[in-house]
Amino acid sequence: MKSYPVARTHTLVALAAVACVLWAATAAEARTALESICRVKGQEENTLRGLGFVIGLEGTGDDGTFLPTIRSLAMTMELLGEQLGQDGLAELKDTKNAALVMVTATVPGGGGRRGDKLDCMVSSIGKAKSLEGGQLFITPLVGPDKSNPTIYAFAEGSITLDSATLTRSGRVHGGCSLATDFRNVFTKDGKITLVLKKNYAGFRVAQEVATLVNDQLGFQITQGQGELAKGLDQVNIEVLIPPQYSEAPAEFVSQVLALPLNEPQTGARVVINERAGSIVITGDVEIGAAVVSHKNVVVETGTDVSIERFVPVDPSETNTPKLKALVEALNKVNVQTEDIIEIIKRLDRSGRLYGQLIIE
């Protein structure tokens, strides 16, 4: 593919016709295990949370004007048997070595057992300037259901800041101790449900997964008497647990998740991370006829480009143009990444980008 300079005040790039050349495969088709693209329903993470205190700060905590901290500190002291004097909350007005914080911990999808240690995140919700050097006072953690105030864990320990500049949040390594078992149920009515990860969700992939399970395990287990799996929608695939595995569902799930799937056909996508300046394009993203003018760049795509006005990137191609070829052409004439991203956005807004645009 070649591009040529054009003697104009703008850099003119025309994509007259560019097509992907399909080559015969010379190696085995790429495969991936099902566990790489889906999970089993019921194996979700659980977030625990609670409101607590960080103590031991060197004058960088909440001051006496932040009343939620003062009231909470007074209640804690009373629970510990220390009653306030006649001046009440006024006695705590000069307290600056404590901070009111939100504490969260995540129980992994596989669950956990009582006594397991997890990291917990601590974030100031008051006027504290820094949590550096602080100690999280023992804090009970509950689940997200407000109607169920069950305490699932307790958190405490020394705080480590994640960043020298973000001083109002940090973590306590291994500071959360589970107070109960988390056994995430993954079977229901003799079935399991496979849930596709969001980057693979789609009717085509769901059907491919169902077909794979039926082809690889269905006949072997059901002896041709029915299908094990069926796609329910773009995300969920329901799989029947055979009778011989009713007492060992984990064994059956391990077999299902180990099945090798050919590279999933997820559809045409463009993933852009503007902060990192990265663009990821699947090879089948096509673009329609359009003229885009941005700064010192004019891009014309389609099969009807005027050769008198624009120099084509590759005059020998006559098929539907691909976005990948356009980006390569823009790179060759040193168009900045942020400008390429803006051009892609404009193609999408005009309905000329034939694929899903994902901005991270």
CATH of the domain at 195: 3.90.76
Total-model pTM? 0.63
257: in domain: yes
User: Domain containing 167: what range?
Assistant: 46-178
**Residues 315 and 242 both lie in one domain:** no
Q: Specify the number of domains making up the chain.
A: 3
Per-residue tens of pLDDT for the chain, all 360 residues: 334 333 333 433 433 333 333 333 333 456 788 888 899 998 888 899 998 888 888 888 887 677 777 677 777 766 766 666 656 566 666 677 888 899 999 999 888 999 999 999 999 988 888 999 899 989 999 987 777 788 999 999 999 998 878 899 999 999 999 999 888 888 999 999 999 988 888 898 999 999 999 988 876 665 556 688 999 999 999 999 988 888 999 999 999 999 988 877 667 778 888 788 888 887 678 877 777 777 777 777 665 544 444 444 444 444 567 888 788 878 777 788 888 888 888 888 878 788 778 887
294: in domain: yes
Question: Residues 211, 165: contact at Cβ < 8 Å?
Answer: no
Fill in the amino acid letter for 339.
D
Distance CA 13, CA 168 (A): 49
Question: Residues 128, 99: contact at Cβ < 8 Å?
Answer: yes
341: in domain: yes
CA atoms within 13 A on the CB side of 228: 27
**Residues 224 and 279 both lie in one domain:** no
**Residues 124 and 189 both lie in one domain:** no
**Residues 139 and 59 both lie in one domain:** yes
Fill in the amino acid letter for 162.
D
Of 239, 329, 177, 331, the C-alpha closest to 40 is 239
**Residues 254 and 320 both lie in one domain:** no
**Residues 254 and 272 both lie in one domain:** no
**Residues 129 and 246 both lie in one domain:** no
**Residues 278 and 343 both lie in one domain:** yes
Which residues, including other chains, have CB under 8 Å from residue 327's CB and lie 6 or more apart? 279, 281, 340, 344
Give the pairing type, strands 260-262 and 31-33: antiparallel
**Residues 51 and 174 both lie in one domain:** yes
Q: Which of 262, 297, 312 is the last residue of a domain?
A: 262
2: in domain: no
15: in domain: yes
Distance CA 250, CA 247 (A): 9
Which residues, including other chains, have CB under 8 Å from residue 225's CB and lie 6 or more apart? none
Distance CA 252, CA 275 (A): 43
Q: Which of 178, 203, 219 is the last residue of a domain?
A: 178
Per-residue confidence (pLDDT) for residue 232, from 0 to 100: 93
Distance CA 64, CA 107 (A): 35
**Residues 17 and 90 both lie in one domain:** no
Q: 3-class DSSP state for residue 339?
A: helix
4: in domain: no
User: What is the number of other CB atoms lying within 10 angstroms of the CB of residue 260?
Assistant: 13
Distance CA 263, CA 31 (A): 5
**Residues 219 and 244 both lie in one domain:** yes
Q: Which of 178, 205, 225 is the last residue of a domain?
A: 178
Distance CA 195, CA 43 (A): 10
351: in domain: yes
167: in domain: yes
**Residues 163 and 139 both lie in one domain:** yes
Of the chain, the end-to-end C-alpha distance in Å amounts to 30
